[in-house]
Amino acid sequence: MSYQIMEVTGSDWEGRQPVEALTDTLENGGVLYFPALAFTLSPDELPLLRPDVRAPKSRNISQPAHGVVKGAVGSPEEMAALSGMMQRFRRQAVQLVHGLFPRYSSHLRLEPTSYRPTEVATRTQSWRADDKRLHVDAFPSRPNRGERILRVFSNVNPHQKPRVWRVGEPFEAMAQQFLPLIPGYRAWEAHVLHALGVTKSLRSEYDHMMLQLHDHLKRDANYQKNAPQTVAEFAAGSTWVCFSDQTLHAVHGGQYMMEQTFFMPPQHQYRPDQSPLGILTRLAGHPLQGARL
């Protein structure tokens, strides 16, 4: 593990207390790794550990906070078990985050829970969609104007295989290198994209920068090979947490993982100046058009 990854002891989802070092690591773009924090499946959930529970045309299985399971196939009993499994993971992820980061609690917005039963190493995708390349998360069709993307992951692999990531350099170091290569933001383009239905709302200058960084990183073969990075193996039965809009990450292998996403306005983190919005605003030297400051 590297300085970007901090190991955290304990096997309890509830009753966690805030620790300044953990908050600092998270908000500086690091990963909090809980090697003994397992999401344990019940006997009726174990049959769900197979790849064909995912619908062939779906990338992952997901469930909104107040909705039904999407992207899965199976019997009514299996769908009920899958829904219960995902709801239980959501509750435990919420307990973990609320205990560790109480300042976030009243400002978090629950996004869909996902279950990822597919082997990553053999998945074939376009370069832009290929998560085996170092990247930061950004949404082409869903501008978020600087809102944070906090994610909780758990490896539930029954064969004791790790989830293998590469974790890259700090966000600001990467941004300093790539920002000079990015074309300037043009508000009229954002209006055209929204009018055509390409984006669900107006793309801000922040969203433009993040998407450009995402694409430049994935397209640059030299950076992918030679940039500062470390390999992290997240063991079966472990959990890890990061801001995926800030942590440079790539997934190289692994199968059977749970994931919970939260969105949060950046002004409610402990150090808003350390958010990607704060960093990009500072590097740009001006307030970013349409962003959440």
pLDDT tens digits for range 216-273: 999 999 999 999 999 999 999 999 999 999 999 999 999 999 999 999 999 999 999 9
Q: What is the pLDDT of residues 148-197, one digit of tens each?
A: 999 999 999 999 999 999 999 999 999 999 999 999 999 999 999 999 99
Beginning with the edge strand found earlier in the chain, give each strand of the sheet holding 229-234 in spatial order.
229-234, 163-168, 249-253
Q: Quick check: 126 pLDDT over 70?
A: yes
Classify residue 97 by burial, with Cβ atoms within 10 Å: 0-12, 13-18, 19+: buried
Sign of CA dihedral 263, 29, 259, 124: positive
Q: What number is the average pLDDT over the span 53-63?
A: 93
Alpha carbon separation from 155 to 14, 137, 179, 256 (Å, rounded): 18, 20, 34, 6
Q: What tokens were used for 136? A: 């930061």
Give the pLDDT confidence score for residue 4 in this predicted structure.
Answer: 84
**Is residue 208 helix, strand or coil?**
helix
Residue 35 banded pLDDT, cuts 50, 70, 90? very high
The C-alpha atoms of residue 290 and residue 293 are separated, in whole angstroms, by 9
Give the HSE-up count for residue 34: Cα atoms under 13 Å, Cβ half-sphere. Answer: 23
Give the pLDDT confidence score for residue 288 in this predicted structure.
Answer: 95
Alpha carbon separation from 281 to 27, 132, 186, 278 (Å, rounded): 16, 28, 16, 5
Query: Which residues sit opposite 62 in a β-bridge?
Result: 70, 114
Of all residues in the chain, the percent with pLDDT exceeding 70 is 98
Q: What tokens were used for 78? A: 């299996």
Beginning with the edge strand found earlier in the chain, give each strand of the sheet holding 109-116 in spatial order.
5-7, 31-34, 239-243, 148-155, 257-264, 109-116, 61-63
Q: Quick check: 2 pLDDT over 60?
A: no
